Amino acid sequence: MAAGAAGRVELGFAEEAPAWRLRSEQFPSKVGGRPAWLGLSGLPGPGALACARCGRPLAFLLQVYAPLPGRDDAFHRSLFLFCCREPPCCAGLRVFRNQLPRKNEFYSYEPPSETGASDTGGSVCLQLKSGAHLCRVCGCLGPKTCSRCRQAHYCSKEHQTLDWRLGHKQACTESDHLNQTAPDHNFLFPEFEIVTEAEDEITPEAVEMEDYSEVTGSLGRILEEELDSMARHESKEDHIFQKFKSKIALEPEQILRYGRGIKPIWISGENIPQEKDIPDCSCGAKRIFEFQVMPQLLNYLKADRLGRSVDWGVLAVFTCAESCSLGIGYTEEFVWKQDITDTP
C-alpha cells in the first residue's frame, strides 16, 4: 500500500500465502512469523525491542509496506509493529520505520519476480546478507551466541533458555545447519499476508442514514416526543461505538485501515489522544496518523494458546510527517493503544 490521494483509505485483510511471498525481497505487508526486515543493517537491537513495562522481548505483530510516491529516499518503506505477549503484562508496544531509495545495497533496482523460486519448506534464514545474525526464536537481531556451538544466536537470555529447552540442548553439537532450521517455540504469531483494497464507495454516512430510516420506519407509531427523549439519552460513548460499527460494517473482516494523514476511527470515547499526547519525531517534525490495527486481527493470532493474551480495541500508529531519513537504520515511531470500554 502507498500513501495516495488525500482522504483515501485502504483496508487490509489477512490471507494465507506461500512462504516466498512473505520474504524481504518481495516487500510484503504481513502479520506474524518473523519480521521480513527491509533494511538489512542497522536493525533495532534487543534494548529497543524489549517491553518498556516488563522488560521481556517483544513479539513481532505485523509490518506494512508503505512507500511514499515522489520520494526517492522512501521508494521502499516499511513499518514494523511489535507487542508484548507475556502475561501478566501483554501491554508493551513499539513501532519502527525503515526506508530505502530504489538503488540500494540490498535489493535489485528492478521489481521482484511475481513467481516464487523453489520453496525450501520449513527452512528459515537466520543470517542476513549484511552478515547480521538473527535470534532463532523471534527473528530479531541476535547478538548473543550459544557458548557451546557458537552457531545459534539469540536476542536475549530468555530466548536462549527457551530454545535450549525445546531441542537445542540435543542439536547443539550435532548440526551444521542451525542457521536454516528452528523448532516451533510457540512464541511467533501465525503468519498471514496482508492484502489490501480501497474502501468501498458507499460512505458510512449513507449506511447510517439507511439504518436510521429502517429504525424510524419500524417505530412509526411511537410518539415523536419519545423519539426525542431516546436521542437525548444516547451517550457520546454509544455514538462513537455505533459510528465505529457502521464504518466497518461493509467489510467486517478488515484487520487494518491505512490512510496517511487522515483521522483514525476510534472504538470508544475513552482514551482518545489529544495532539499533545502524540510526541514529535526526533527530527523535530510533528507525527501524523498513518494506519490502525483493528480488533478483528485478534481472531487470527491464537493468542491464548499458551495462556498468553494480547488484546486491544484500536492500535493507532503515528509517524513522522516528513518521513525523515536518518541513515539506513530503523527509526522508532509512536503507537497509541485504545482498549474496548465496557458500556453499561
Q: Where are the domains of the chain?
A: 10-108+187-200+246-338
* Sign of the alpha-carbon dihedral angle for 166, 168, 174, 175: positive
Give pTM, 2 decimals: 0.86
What pLDDT is stored for residue 260 in this prediction? 97
What pLDDT is stored for residue 100 in this prediction? 95
What pLDDT is stored for residue 252 in this prediction? 94
What pLDDT is stored for residue 236 in this prediction? 72
Report the C-alpha gap between 332 and 81 in whole angstroms. Answer: 10
CA atoms within 13 A on the CB side of 53: 13
Report the C-alpha gap between 210 and 200 in whole angstroms. Answer: 16
Report the C-alpha gap between 196 and 186 in whole angstroms. Answer: 28
CA dihedral 128, 130, 134, 138 (to 10 degrees): -70
**Cα–Cα distance list, 264 to 131, 197, 243, 297 (Å):** 39, 17, 12, 17
Contact of 292 with 312, CB cutoff 8 Å: no
What pLDDT is stored for residue 202 in this prediction? 46
**Cα–Cα distance list, 309 to 87, 184, 228, 301, 304 (Å):** 7, 19, 42, 10, 5
What pLDDT is stored for residue 116 in this prediction? 67
What pLDDT is stored for residue 322 in this prediction? 97
Q: Which residues of the chain have pLDDT under 50?
A: 202, 206-207, 212-223, 227, 233, 306-307, 343-344
